[in-house]
Amino acid sequence: MKKTYLNIGMICLILLIASCSSSDDTKTNTGPITNPVEEDVLTKDNVTTFMVDKNATAETVALFYNLKKMSKIKFAIGQQDAFNSFYNNISGDSDIKKTTSHDPALLGSDFMFITDKNNNGEASNWFYQQEIIITDDVKEAYSKGMINIFSWHLREPNHEETFYAADMTADEKATGFKSILPGGENHQWFKSKLDKVADVIGNLKDNNGKLIPVIFRPFHEFDGSWFWWGATFCSPDEYKTVFRFTVDYLKNTKGIHNILYSFAPDNSYTTSAAFLSRYPGDEYVDVIGMDNYGDFDNQGQAGADRANTKLKIVSDLAKSKVKIAALTETGYRVMASNSPITGWFSNHLYTALTANEVEIAFVMFWNNNNDGYYVPTTSASNASDFTSFVAKPKATLINTLPNMYQLPQ
């Protein structure tokens, strides 16, 4: 389901006004995850067997292991741009922290501004300033023990002005994705964008100089037609080829070893075969995800049940493949024309995430902004619904997130 995005001007305004979270979040549980009682093929000794990168850093290996184990007992709650996108532009702590007293367990970021054609790397450049804000946020999140995930709203290769297919000509839509294939007209351009991604991820380090693990979710929601990499504009084999090239280039050519790779369609599928129609292969995917707004868009319990059925497909595939399952994007945007839905968080969403033995490692809400919110602030009428949701047995914010970067002893 296509979600609503801010226009560039509004994004710029929000980011210019915003500031990073101003206070530290005190965690009550910083120990490693203990093994669940049930038998599991995944062990500390064989974890890299199931990972894309056999040479992943120790912290990245631990993140894979702990996310997989955690999904059996609870899920992390996150938000896109949590430290820099606020309802009513009220900056400071994340809106989740304003409402619950704790930061999210996962931070969503985007390479969009970082790989923008106008980012010249100079201190006075607005896009470079956003790069610094984003990378500083990632470092802050890691210092708190949070999980980091990046999406990539890559601008199309012709003019680099948009990622929406609706803004492109028929010819640009028909040729854009194909042109970045190996041997394509814009393949070198695509490699230059990956070089920038590699440079940023390869320099994300903590205060001790250790690389910070990130989940990377390229070319998401590819089963729709709103992005220029959508299913209407490339064949399954073409999509797989670009996805595989992305992974191989970052991992093998650029030598980046602190990434978990995520495959995340939208919610159009109803069978595992449909879900896997563009799946690049187990050797290229660590996180099997789904973005789903449509089933939660005022669809009541029936919508939540549909979402649960699709999450069951994701969860079962992750179990059989020994991968991590996630609801990589979701939310119901409250604004002037959309009133809060009673029980949306604590009833509909929580049921979708937990019923029928679904094992989901994390759920991520999209960003708040001046005109609306996905996560309520304290004054919102559905704030209590959200606090009830985060207090549920399987939900976790940063205060109850285990140590994700250390294997259990």
Domain range summary for the chain, segments of one domain joined by +: 8-400
CA 329 vs. chain centroid, Å, equals 7
Listed as ranges, residues in the chain with pLDDT below 50 are 1-23, 26-30, 34-38
Q: CA-to-CA distance for 91 and 105, rounded, in angstroms?
A: 19
Angle 181-186-188 (CA atoms, 0-180°, nearest 5)? Answer: 90
Rounded Cα distance, 334 and 369, in Å: 11
Q: Where are the alpha helices (DSSP H) in 32-94?
A: 58-70
Q: What are phi and psi of 59, to 5 degrees?
A: -70, -35
pLDDT in the model for residue 25: 57
pLDDT of residue 23: 43
Report pLDDT digits (tens) over 162-173: 999 999 999 999
In the chain, count H helices and then E strands. Answer: 11, 9
Catalytic residue among 172, 221, 357, 359: 221
Annotated active-site residue in 131, 329, 357, 359: 329
- CB-based contacts of 163, cutoff 8 Å, min separation 6: 112, 153, 154, 155, 156, 227, 228
Q: For position 138, what pLDDT does the model report?
A: 98
219 alpha-carbon distance from chain centroid: 12
Handedness of CA 43, 49, 52, 57 (dihedral sign): positive
Q: Which residues, in sequence order, are CB contacts of 10 under 8 Å at separation 6+?
A: 369, 370, 371
Q: Which amino acid is at 313?
A: I
Give the pLDDT score at 40.
80
Amino acid at 31: G
d(CA 15, CA 91): 10
Backbone φ/ψ region at 27: left (φ over 0), alpha (ψ -120 to 50), beta: beta
Q: How far apart are the C-alpha atoms of 313 and 319, rounded to whole Å?
A: 10
Q: What is the pLDDT of residue 36?
A: 43
The closest alpha carbon to 232, from 278, 192, 184, belongs to 278
Sign of the torsion angle spanned by Cα atoms 401, 403, 405, 406:
negative
Q: Are 19 and 92 in contact (CB under 8 A)?
A: yes
The question of whether 140 is a catalytic residue gets the answer no
Burial of 126 (0-12, 13-18, 19+ CB in 10 A): middle
Report d(CA 292, CA 304) in Å as an integer.
Answer: 10
Q: Are 282 and 259 in contact (CB under 8 A)?
A: no
pLDDT in tens, 363-399: 999 999 999 999 999 999 999 999 999 999 999 999 9
Sign of CA dihedral 248, 250, 256, 259: negative
Question: Looking only at Cα atoms, what is the longest distance across the chain?
Answer: 57
Quick check: 364 and 328 in contact, CB under 8 A? yes
Instruction: Assign domain 8-400 one CATH number from 3.30.70.20, 3.20.110.10, 3.40.50.12780, 3.20.20.80.
Output: 3.20.20.80
Give, in degrees to the nearest 5, the angle at Cα 244 between 163 and 214: 70
Q: Are 403 and 30 in contact (CB under 8 A)?
A: yes
- Residue 89's pLDDT is 84
Q: For 32-77, what is each residue's pLDDT tens digit?
A: 554 443 458 999 999 999 999 999 999 999 999 999 999 999 999 9
The set of residues, in sequence order, having a beta carbon less than 8 Å from that of 180 and lying 6+ positions away, is: 157, 186, 187, 189, 190, 242
Residue 283 designated active-site:
no
pLDDT for the residue numbered 8 = 42
